[in-house]
Amino acid sequence: MLLVWEKPSLGLLCVGFSAACGAWALYRLRGRQVHVEWKVAGVLLLLTALCSCYLPASAGLPLFCGICLLSALCVPLQDMLPVHGKAVLITGCDSGFGHALAKYLDDLGFRVFAGVLNKKGAGAEELRSACSPRLSLLQLDITNSEQTNKAYTEVQSSLQNSGLWGIIHNAGVLGYVGDGELLPLSVYKKCMDVNFFGAVQISKTFFPLLRRAKGRLVTISSMAGHAPLPGFAAYGASKAALSMFSGVMRQELSKWGVKVATIQPGAFRTSIYGPQEKWSDQDEHILGDLAADAKEDYGEDYVKTMKDCYQEMISMSSADLSPVLSDVYHALLAKRPRYLYSPGRSAYIIPCIFHYFPLWIYDVITNKMFEGTKKLPPRALQTHQTHNEKHE
């Protein structure tokens, strides 16, 4: 029988070429820790849609294959540095991100110095029992100069001349969530003391060890410090200051070979919201500090319902902290770490809308997001609304 070779169709050729490009890209990625922004994937999908909608198959499919090939060529080869011999200092390890990071980095083989507010607390005891002997607990209130200096002496003595590879600014407080006019000045001061001035104090104290190692400064800030969110005036302002400090340090420490990264997580379920007992005390604290005019206009009922937002925010938060842990790991060990990491879906979407959409659209969206946390409007607005309805 005579076999006749048939010319393959253009579609089959394109599929085969795309498969070859994909296999090559996977081979290049094999065994490497690579962060590919999902927005890049979005651009590729958009180009694919344009190719298929506006170009004939004879032109669209080859163009798409070319895009696949170009993407494979442009994938960054992010070689990771070895963990062996590297020491990191983490603040705020009693719970939350800091606690999880201490365990995670200890498991990877880092020499971890975990700063805690209470060395006899439950969080510290759990780290003692769960982690390796490499982990050292430090009594470290980052707003306390005496404890900061003592921690520096302990770390310097332990490391001798090897230097400190990483400083991870994690310790932070939220204070209360509520209208900025109603928050006591003490909440603003507490947020700035811990979230900003505490991080600056730790930085200034430990920078000599960091510069010696030509290491990494990793700052866990917040999406609320990047885009304004209702109810987060005190917390957001302190995190914005922290993010700016981190950015300036990136510029200034580069001459020493130190790389700086900022992590701005979205909504994750940590202990930063505090216990429910704290929520019940919020209205008493706010009302006791509130000016008479503000108390009259907002009303006690409005103030008392502000604490209802905590449970809803917790329910909207992710319990999986692994995106944050993975980004911190990349910031510590990638040869070319990114300047900004945004773990969590909302951490990218909300700032993106803030920067690239008209502000009125952003305000409508964010107010809608937090609308469910406000059970009723302020008393003066209720009165005004009732008056208007009577005269319609």
**Number of C-alpha atoms within 13 angstroms, CB side, residue 1?**
3
| Torsion of Cα atoms, 243 then 247 then 252 then 256, to 10° | 90
| Torsion of Cα atoms, 346 then 350 then 356 then 358, to 10° | 150
Q: CA 20, 69, 33, 347 torsion: positive or negative?
A: negative
Reading the block at residue 294, the tokens are 């503000």
Q: Residue 302, exposed/middle/buried by CB under 10 A (0-12, 13-18, 19+)? A: buried
Reading the block at residue 127, the tokens are 């780290």
Q: Which residues pair with 88 in a beta bridge?
A: 112, 166
Q: From the candidates 176, 235, 341, 362, give the one annotated as an active-site residue.
A: 235
Contact between 108 and 134 under an 8 Å Cβ cutoff? The reply is no
One DSSP character per residue, 183-247 reads S-HHHHHHHIIIIIIIHHHHHHHHHHHHHHHT-EEEEE--GGGTS--TTBHHHHHHHHHHHHHHH
Task: Report residue 220: phi and psi, to 5°.
Answer: -90, 100
CA 91 to chain centre: 15
Active site residue 188: no
Q: Is 353 helix (H, G, I), strand (E, B) or coil?
A: helix
Rounded to whole angstroms, how far apart are CA atoms 374 and 86? 47
Q: Which residues pair with 111 in a beta bridge?
A: 87
Contact between 225 and 238 under an 8 Å Cβ cutoff? The reply is yes
3-class DSSP string for 14-31? HHHHHHHHHHHHHHHHCC
**Number of C-alpha atoms within 13 angstroms, CB side, residue 31?**
3
Q: Which residues are catalytic?
A: 235
